Amino acid sequence: MNSLDRKIINLLQAGFPLSEEPYRDVAEQLFIEEDELLSRLSNLLEENILSRFGPMYDAQKLGGAFSLVAVSVPENDFDRVTEIVNSYSEVAHNYKRDHDYNMWYVLATESPDKIDEVNHDIEKKTGLKVFNMPKLDEYYIGLQLPV
Protein backbone atom coordinates (compact mmCIF):
# COMPACT_ATOMS: atom_id res chain seq x y z
CA MET A 1 0.00 0.00 0.00
CA ASN A 2 1.45 3.34 -1.00
CA SER A 3 0.61 6.94 -0.07
CA LEU A 4 -2.06 7.24 -2.77
CA ASP A 5 -3.80 4.10 -1.50
CA ARG A 6 -3.76 5.63 1.98
CA LYS A 7 -5.26 8.86 0.65
CA ILE A 8 -8.01 6.89 -1.10
CA ILE A 9 -8.90 4.95 2.05
CA ASN A 10 -8.83 8.04 4.26
CA LEU A 11 -10.96 10.05 1.83
CA LEU A 12 -13.57 7.33 1.31
CA GLN A 13 -13.95 6.76 5.06
CA ALA A 14 -15.25 10.32 5.26
CA GLY A 15 -18.03 9.62 2.77
CA PHE A 16 -18.87 8.77 -0.80
CA PRO A 17 -20.49 11.29 -3.13
CA LEU A 18 -24.08 10.83 -4.18
CA SER A 19 -23.78 11.98 -7.76
CA GLU A 20 -24.14 10.68 -11.29
CA GLU A 21 -20.43 9.86 -11.47
CA PRO A 22 -19.21 9.39 -7.90
CA TYR A 23 -15.97 7.58 -8.81
CA ARG A 24 -15.02 10.36 -11.18
CA ASP A 25 -15.77 12.91 -8.44
CA VAL A 26 -13.54 11.06 -5.95
CA ALA A 27 -10.78 10.68 -8.54
CA GLU A 28 -10.85 14.43 -9.21
CA GLN A 29 -10.38 15.13 -5.49
CA LEU A 30 -7.30 12.90 -5.60
CA PHE A 31 -6.01 14.37 -8.90
CA ILE A 32 -6.07 10.96 -10.60
CA GLU A 33 -8.10 9.34 -13.38
CA GLU A 34 -11.27 7.42 -12.58
CA ASP A 35 -9.79 4.20 -14.05
CA GLU A 36 -6.83 4.43 -11.69
CA LEU A 37 -9.15 4.86 -8.69
CA LEU A 38 -11.20 1.82 -9.72
CA SER A 39 -8.07 -0.23 -10.30
CA ARG A 40 -6.63 0.69 -6.92
CA LEU A 41 -9.89 -0.13 -5.14
CA SER A 42 -9.94 -3.53 -6.86
CA ASN A 43 -6.34 -4.18 -5.83
CA LEU A 44 -7.02 -3.16 -2.21
CA LEU A 45 -9.88 -5.65 -2.11
CA GLU A 46 -7.94 -8.43 -3.86
CA GLU A 47 -5.00 -7.99 -1.48
CA ASN A 48 -7.40 -8.04 1.53
CA ILE A 49 -6.25 -4.61 2.64
CA LEU A 50 -9.96 -3.74 2.44
CA SER A 51 -12.39 -6.50 3.41
CA ARG A 52 -15.29 -4.79 1.66
CA PHE A 53 -16.21 -1.58 -0.10
CA GLY A 54 -19.83 -0.59 -0.18
CA PRO A 55 -22.66 1.21 1.57
CA MET A 56 -23.59 0.72 5.20
CA TYR A 57 -27.33 0.41 5.69
CA ASP A 58 -29.19 0.84 8.96
CA ALA A 59 -31.14 -2.42 9.03
CA GLN A 60 -33.41 -1.22 11.83
CA LYS A 61 -34.53 1.83 9.88
CA LEU A 62 -35.43 -0.55 7.04
CA GLY A 63 -37.49 -2.77 9.39
CA GLY A 64 -34.69 -5.23 10.10
CA ALA A 65 -32.61 -5.98 13.16
CA PHE A 66 -29.03 -6.36 14.43
CA SER A 67 -27.77 -8.47 17.27
CA LEU A 68 -24.44 -9.47 18.79
CA VAL A 69 -24.18 -13.17 19.63
CA ALA A 70 -21.62 -15.05 21.73
CA VAL A 71 -20.87 -18.77 21.77
CA SER A 72 -18.49 -20.88 23.85
CA VAL A 73 -16.93 -23.20 21.28
CA PRO A 74 -14.58 -26.06 22.18
CA GLU A 75 -11.25 -25.26 20.53
CA ASN A 76 -11.12 -28.61 18.72
CA ASP A 77 -14.56 -27.87 17.18
CA PHE A 78 -13.94 -24.24 16.24
CA ASP A 79 -13.45 -24.78 12.50
CA ARG A 80 -16.64 -26.84 12.17
CA VAL A 81 -18.71 -24.27 14.08
CA THR A 82 -17.17 -21.39 12.14
CA GLU A 83 -18.17 -23.03 8.87
CA ILE A 84 -21.76 -23.46 10.08
CA VAL A 85 -22.07 -19.91 11.43
CA ASN A 86 -20.48 -18.34 8.34
CA SER A 87 -22.85 -20.27 6.06
CA TYR A 88 -25.66 -17.86 7.02
CA SER A 89 -25.95 -14.78 4.86
CA GLU A 90 -27.30 -12.94 7.91
CA VAL A 91 -23.91 -13.23 9.67
CA ALA A 92 -22.27 -9.87 9.05
CA HIS A 93 -19.11 -10.45 11.11
CA ASN A 94 -17.66 -13.40 12.99
CA TYR A 95 -14.72 -13.02 15.37
CA LYS A 96 -12.62 -15.38 17.45
CA ARG A 97 -11.95 -14.02 20.94
CA ASP A 98 -9.61 -15.00 23.75
CA HIS A 99 -12.43 -15.53 26.26
CA ASP A 100 -14.69 -18.31 27.59
CA TYR A 101 -17.14 -17.12 24.93
CA ASN A 102 -14.59 -17.37 22.15
CA MET A 103 -16.85 -16.83 19.12
CA TRP A 104 -18.75 -13.59 18.62
CA TYR A 105 -20.82 -12.83 15.56
CA VAL A 106 -23.16 -10.07 14.41
CA LEU A 107 -26.49 -10.88 12.80
CA ALA A 108 -28.19 -8.45 10.45
CA THR A 109 -31.65 -9.64 9.45
CA GLU A 110 -34.66 -8.43 7.51
CA SER A 111 -36.90 -8.67 10.58
CA PRO A 112 -36.43 -8.89 14.35
CA ASP A 113 -38.03 -12.38 14.39
CA LYS A 114 -35.35 -13.64 12.01
CA ILE A 115 -32.67 -13.08 14.69
CA ASP A 116 -34.23 -15.76 16.90
CA GLU A 117 -34.83 -18.05 13.92
CA VAL A 118 -31.19 -17.93 12.76
CA ASN A 119 -29.82 -18.34 16.29
CA HIS A 120 -32.12 -21.30 16.98
CA ASP A 121 -31.00 -22.92 13.72
CA ILE A 122 -27.32 -22.35 14.61
CA GLU A 123 -27.89 -23.91 18.04
CA LYS A 124 -29.54 -26.91 16.43
CA LYS A 125 -26.76 -27.43 13.86
CA THR A 126 -23.83 -26.84 16.23
CA GLY A 127 -25.26 -28.36 19.40
CA LEU A 128 -24.04 -25.27 21.28
CA LYS A 129 -25.94 -22.61 23.24
CA VAL A 130 -25.83 -19.15 21.69
CA PHE A 131 -26.20 -16.01 23.78
CA ASN A 132 -28.13 -13.32 21.94
CA MET A 133 -27.38 -9.74 22.97
CA PRO A 134 -29.65 -7.41 21.01
CA LYS A 135 -28.77 -3.75 20.74
CA LEU A 136 -30.70 -1.71 23.28
CA ASP A 137 -29.32 1.74 22.47
CA GLU A 138 -27.15 3.13 19.70
CA TYR A 139 -24.48 5.80 19.96
CA TYR A 140 -22.87 7.34 16.89
CA ILE A 141 -19.14 7.81 17.35
CA GLY A 142 -18.14 8.72 13.78
CA LEU A 143 -15.38 6.13 13.69
CA GLN A 144 -12.66 6.70 11.12
CA LEU A 145 -9.40 4.78 11.08
CA PRO A 146 -6.71 6.93 9.44
CA VAL A 147 -4.09 4.97 7.52
For residue 143, tell me if it sits in a domain: no
pLDDT tens profile 58-113: 777 888 888 999 999 999 999 999 999 999 999 988 999 999 999 999 999 998 89
Domain check: are 67 and 124 in the same one?
Answer: yes
Residue 84 lies in a domain: yes
Q: What is the per-residue pLDDT across 38-66, written as a single tens digit (0 to 9) for each?
A: 999 999 999 999 988 888 777 778 888 88
Full residue range of the structural domain in which residue 80 is found? 59-134
**pTM, rounded to two decimals:** 0.65
**Domain-embedded: residue 54:** no
Q: Give start and end residues of each alpha helix (H) in the chain.
A: 3-13, 22-30, 34-46, 78-86, 112-126
The verdict on 35 and 87 lying in the same domain is no
Pair (63, 130) in one structural domain: yes
Same domain, 27 and 88: no
Residue 127: phi and psi, rounded to 5, are 75, 15
**70 and 105 assigned to the same domain:** yes
